[in-house]
Each structure stands twice: as C-alpha cells, then as structure tokens.
Structure 1
Amino acid sequence: MTADKRRYVVTAIRGVLVLTGAVVTVAVLYSFSTMPTASASDDGFVRGLSYLFGSVFFILALGGAGLGLALPSLLGADDALAFDRWQRRCLQASGGLFVGGFVAGLVAGLLTALQYGLLLWLVAIVLAVLVVSCVLVWRLFEVFVTALVRLIAAETGE
C-alpha cells in the first residue's frame, strides 16, 4: 500500500471513529436530558436500567472517539494535528489502555464474572479518554501560545 493510500485509509477510519463517537455521545446526552421523570408509583427500575446502558454506550462512544484521535500515533502515521514526540507517546499509551483494558477485561471476565471484566474495560476506556483529552488540551495550549508569541512579535516588529 502506498503512503497516500495508507494516509487516506487512516484518515477515513479516524473520521468514522471520531464522528460516530461524537454523534452517539450527543445522542446519549440528548436522551438523558429528555428522559421523563419517574412517577411516584414507579420503582425506577426501567429508568435505572436505561441510565446504566446509556452510560455504557456513552463511555464506549467517547472511547471510540478517543481511539480515533490516537489512531495515527498508534500506527506511526503522520498526523495533521502535528503532535510532538511526548504527545505521541501519551497517545500511544492511551491506545495501550484501550487494547490492554479490553484484554485485561476479557481475562478478568472469563476468570471471575463477566460484569467485573466489563467494568475493568470501561475504567480503562475512561482513563484512556482522559489521557487523550489532556493531550488535546496540551496541543491546543501550544498552538495558542505560538500564535500569541507571533502576534506579539509582529506588533513589536521583532
């Protein structure tokens, strides 16, 4: 596969993961916000179950979006966001949390109970999303500081 085709495939997969993750996240948040309140005669079982499954979908959607953002770093491809070496390492570590959390969750689920493995995997996804979010804030701060330095240099004539 040529470099252009590989870049196109990685970008397409990345776009699908990020877009799908964002759409599902917004849909879950919208369904949570429009969910009717429980009546006084209801014990809240259905509402609690919908919150449980909605939360799982929310975490998986955020994980998919995070994995989409970390994908070029995991595959060693060029990134349009121009992450530096340490940011790429952090994104690779978050990819390790995605994959390693799945494997550890699968093993824990098979050895103990499936729900414990699922919980372990969801915790790993949340940690990975936190790492990806921190890297994005880090990169955004770098871009802001660089733009600010250029603006100050242009105004002072340096």
Structure 2
Amino acid sequence: MAATKEGRKQAEGPLTIQEMAQRSGFSEPTLRYYEKAGLLGAVPRDDSSGHRRYDTPLAERVDALACLRSAGMSVAEMRRYLTLLDEGDQAAAEQRDLFARHADRLSAEIERLRVRQEYMRAKADMWDARHRSDTAAETRAIKQVKRALEEF
C-alpha cells in the first residue's frame, strides 16, 4: 500500500467497491447511487469479473464528495459543485457563492448545537444540584435552562 498526500493508505491499483466504501465512509449502496446519480460518472469495471474498480482520480473524487457530504452538502449541491468544477475558473464566483452559502448554513447549525449543548449542560447541572440537595445551585441551573430555552 502507498500513502496518499492526505496520509491515507491507497492500495496498489484500483480499489474495489468494498475498499472504496471503507476508505470514504460511504456505504456500497451509496457509492452505487452516486454513480447512478451522475456524481461519479461511469465507474470502470474489471474485465473479467465486471466488478467496479475505482482508480486514483475517481477515488479522489469520492474522497472530495465524502468531505462535502460530511459537511452536510446535499446531492444537488454536490452535483452543482461538480458542474461548476467542469466549467473551470470562469465559474469561480459561483463556486465561491456555493461554498459561502454552505459555510453560513454550517455556522447557523453550529450555533443551534451550541444552544442545545448549553441546555444539556444546564439540565445536567440542575439534576446534579438536586442530587446533592443544593437548592441554590439548582436555582442557578434552572435559570440557565430557561435562558437556553429562550435562545431556542
């Protein structure tokens, strides 16, 4: 196995669908769906077995899609990204806008998660105070819970 520049191990030669699934974190059905949906193009097949084989450029494309998907990008957005990628530098502004919109959505999601985390910590503090029979700490925790709920 050879190491890629990202530090991942790349098998010598094309990857099987099982190897690609393991490497990318996508399930085999997802890889098949992405092929059918046009995100991967036609995946080359082994001449003797007919099984899919992912060469290095295709594996790198799957890796990029895995990164986009793990950041919450939809299939439609990934498709748009690939279309714009094919257009080259002339689509740079559209690529910027696509990624900026998604970054803004991630920022909003992070904020929602921060509020949920604050709520959970406050509830844990409240129940801990109740367990210790610390009325003052429980009252403070209840105020924190209410503050978090107002931010919801």
* Fold equivalence (TM over 0.5): no
Q: What is the TM-score when the length of structure 2 is the normalising length?
A: 0.38
**Radius of gyration: which is bigger?**
2
Structure with the higher helix share, 1 or 2: 1
Q: Which has the higher contact order (CA 8 A, sep 6+)?
A: 1
